[in-house]
Amino acid sequence: MDRWCVRVDGLPVYLPQRQRDILVVLARHAGHVVSYERIIRDVWDMRRTPRSYATLIETTKRLRRTLEGAGNRVATVTGHGLLLLTEDAV
Q: Partners of 34 in the beta sheet?
A: 82
Are the C-beta atoms of 47 and 37 separated by less than 8 Å? yes
pLDDT band at 70 (very low <50, low <70, confident <90, very high): low
Does pLDDT of 5 surpass 70? yes
Q: For residue 19, what is the DSSP state?
A: H
Q: For residue 46, what is the DSSP state?
A: S
Element at 39 (helix H, strand E) = helix 36-44
**pTM, to two decimals:** 0.86
Quote the pLDDT of residue 50: 94
Are the C-beta atoms of 7 and 13 separated by less than 8 Å? yes
